[in-house]
Each structure stands twice: as C-alpha cells, then as structure tokens.
Amino acid sequence: MDEKYEDKIIIKNSIVSVGVKIVEYFLSFISGPLLLGCLGDVKYGIYASVFSLISWIYYFDFGVGNGMRNKVTEYATKEDNKKATKTVSTAYVLVSIISIIIFLIVVIAMALIDSETLLNASIPDEELNQILIIAVLIACINFVISLSFNVLYAVQKTALANAFGILSKIVLILALAIYKMYGIQLILYVVIAEGVGQIVKNYIAYIYIRKKFRFLSPDIRQTDFKYSKGILGFGIQIFVMQISALILNATDNLVIMKFFGAADVTPYSFCHKYFSIINALFVAATSPLWTAYTTAYTNKDIKYIKKILRKALTFYCLVLVGICIAIWVFKPFMRIYLGRELDYQDGLIIFTASYYGLLIFSHNFSAFVHGISKVRITTIACVISAIQNVPVSIYLACECNMGLNGIILGSIIGLVISTSAYVFTTIKEIRKMEKLYG
C-alpha cells in the first residue's frame, strides 16, 4: 500500500467532507424558514412528525449497507472483482426484499389504523394516510438505491458521496421556493419534493458507479445468497448498535417531559443541538478512516493502522480545545441566535459539552473497530448502555435531585460503557496484530 497516496486521499476526503457539512448546515438554515413559511405551524408540526417516523425505515436494513461496505473494501483491496460484484448484487436484493416487506406492512397498517387518531392530527384539505403511504413508498425506493453511497465509501470516495448529498437539499429548496411562489401549502407536495431530491442524489451516485466502477454496480444474475452471511454477520451487529444508540438518544427528552415538563426540554435540546455541530464536523472529517482501516487490516499493515490512530487522536486534542471555546461562547451565541435568553440549569452546559467530548473521543476507536468488523464486545456494551440509560437517568435526576444534569449524566455513564468497549477492543486487536505480523 502506498502510504503517501493513501494519506493524500484521506486528507482530501476529510477537507471536502467538512466543507460539504458546512454547506449542508447553511442550506438547512435556508430550508427551515421556507418549510415553515410554506406549511405554517400546524402542518409543519405534522410534517416533522411524519418525517421522523419515516426516517426510522433507514435503520431497518439490518446493517446490510455497512456489511456490504466492509466486504467490498476487502475484495477491492484484494482485486477480487468477481466476489465484489456478487456481494453488491446480493446486498441490493436483500435490501429490496426488506423494502417490499416494510411497504406491505405499512399499507396493511394504514388500512386498519386511523393515522389521524393515532397521531392526534387532523388536516382538513389532505389525507394523512395517503401522505404516509406515499412517503413510505418513496423512502423504500431510496432505501434500495442509497446503497450506492455505501459503495462509494467502500472505495474511498467519501468526499464525492458527501458532495452528492448536497443535491437533495438544493432540489428541496428549489421546490419550496416554487411552492411558496404559487401559494402551495400541501404536506404531500413537500414529502414528494423531499423524496425526489433523495432519488436524484442516489441515482446520480448510482450512475457514477456504473461508469467508474462497473464491477460494483448490481447485477441480479450475480446474486448469490452464500454472500449474505458475510454481509449480515457484521451488519446485524451494527444494526443492534444503531438501535441502541437511537434508544439512548431518544429517551432523554421523553424522561424530561414526564418528570420535569415540556418547557425544560427546550434548553436541554438546544444544548445538544449546539454541541452536536462539533460532533458532526468531526465525524465528517474522520469518516474516510473507516475504509482506510479496512484496507490496512486486509493488507496486514499494522504500522499504518497505528499511524492513522495516532493522527486521529492528535486531531482530537485540537477538537477538545474547540469544545472549551464553544463552552465559553455558548450563552452569547445562543442569545443572538434565538433572540432571547433561555434558562439553563447550572452545570448543564458543562455536562453536555463533556458528553460530546466523550462521544467524539469514542469515534477515534469505533472507526477502527467497525472497519475491521470486530464488534461483538462493543455490541453487547451498546445494548447495556441503552438499557441502563432510563433508570439511571431517572434515579440521578429525581432521587439525587440533580435535575436535567442527572439526565445527561445518565447518558454519559452509558457512553463510558460503550467507549470503554471500543478502546478495549482496539487495544486487543492491535496487540493481536503485533504478535502475528510484527
């Protein structure tokens, strides 16, 4: 492996990915007011609820995308194009089957359930069941063709994949501008615009792969379910970890609403949104490392793995300085951004910053562990982390009178469990490689 060439690719992908993420935030800043202006408060609330429900679909590929990614990187590194083609083709068929099952379940559910009663929402000029069915249909289509992005990540085209991601937001903004111009205020049309933007993005990525990496485009004739074991063995464990993380992140607001009231959710939520920007930028910058670790592990290049890890941890130290600065400017920034002062419990900002500092630290090791598909221990740790979150958070918040600080401390304790597992697995696997390959 040419280390200098590999380093150049990683640096290029990192810089472009961070730049793209900043552009995405800017486009989201534009699309937010447009969405609210088109739909109004009530319809926007219904749209946001529908979108959050639909987004869950993307978690139910049972890790096929990530499993395929690692296998494609492995076969591409070994220049085994035949196995790579069979892996990609099998992954597309598996996700297509899952998508069809999901769509049929939703159609049957919509025939039996009154969604307006379920969601406590009524739209005089639209049919909510119709909106949900069309939204799910479009999501299922994107569910399949979005596998193109996993292929791009597998061949170190992370920057290009992230750049394609901007297209969907541009399509949505253009559609919303047209809707506003003509006074269109239908959730269905917004759902279609959102879905079509995703389809455009995914299809362009698919066309690029067919032209540049023909052997990595799906061919139904090359489907071989013997390869599903290699895809799903790692993928399902990642799926379990994603669901655990989703539960960990989703339960905090529910606990706050239950024990402290909806008003306390607002400062807690804005603390998370603020520091999550740093996390998102770090993830964008280090996203190429996953594939780099897979390639180096396939080539048994222990020296390069240790070199990447050292650089990642050095970069993390700079990020820690950024988090400290972010704590210092938090209140004046939020005052300007919101146009008013929120009531933050003493210590909440520090606790939230600490949570994200630890989360970002864990990314340095999760990229390696996921890249080499050694996730058994970390999967168990993530499940334990999710299970303990609610009872520990309630105990700290209510019994120990810590309030919102107890909620975030419960999440920090869960994160310590999963992060420890990532660090332990990383050290264990590196030592194993040192014994085997020197």
- Dist CA 227 CA 232 (whole Å): 9
Q: Which residues contact 257 (CB under 8 A, 6 or more apart)?
A: 265
Instruction: Return d(Cα 95, Cα 221) in angstroms, integer.
Output: 16
In the prediction, which pLDDT does 262 show?
Answer: 58
Quick one: how far is CA 27 from the chain centroid?
Answer: 18
pLDDT of residue 47: 74
Which pLDDT does position 272 carry in this prediction?
A: 81
Q: Which residue has the tokens 């297209």?
A: 167
pLDDT of residue 285: 87
How long a stretch of residues is the chain? Answer: 438
The two structure tokens encoding residue 227: 């390869």
Query: What is the torsional sign of CA 117, 120, 123, 126?
Result: negative
Question: SS3 breakdown of the chain: % helix, strand, coil, rounded to 5?
Answer: 85, 0, 15
Angle between helices 348-371 and 265-286 (to 10 degrees): 30
pLDDT at 338: 65
**pLDDT at residue 424 in the model:** 95
Amino acid at position 434, single letter = E
Ordered DSSP codes for 277-288: HHHHHHHHHHTH
| Contacts for 144 with CB less than 8 Å, ≥ 6 apart | 92, 95, 96, 99
**Inter-residue contact 81 to 100 (CB < 8 Å):** no
Give the pLDDT confidence score for residue 4 in this predicted structure: 63
Residue extents of the structural domains in the chain: 1-223, 228-438
Those residues of the chain that have pLDDT short of 50 are none
- Using CB atoms within 10 A of its CB, is residue 227 exposed (0-12), middle (13-18) or buried (19+)? buried
List b or e across 33-70, with b for residues whose CB sees 16 or more CB atoms inside 10 angstroms: ebbeebbeeebbebbeebeeebeebeebbbbbbbbbbb
Q: What is the DSSP annotation of 57-98?
A: GGGTTTTHHHHHHHHHHHHHHTT-HHHHHHHHHHHHHHHHHH
**Whole-number pLDDT of residue 276:** 86
Burial of 152 (0-12, 13-18, 19+ CB in 10 A): buried
Residue 270 Cα to chain centre, angstroms: 19
pLDDT digits over 39-71, tens only? 776 777 677 667 766 776 766 767 788 888 888
pLDDT computed for residue 233 by the predictor: 78
pLDDT at residue 104, as a whole number = 92
Task: Tell me how many degrees the CA angle 159-161-356 measures, rounded to the nearest 5.
Answer: 70
pLDDT of res. 29:
75
Given a contact cutoff of 8 angstroms between Cβ atoms, the answer to whether 132 and 115 are in contact is yes
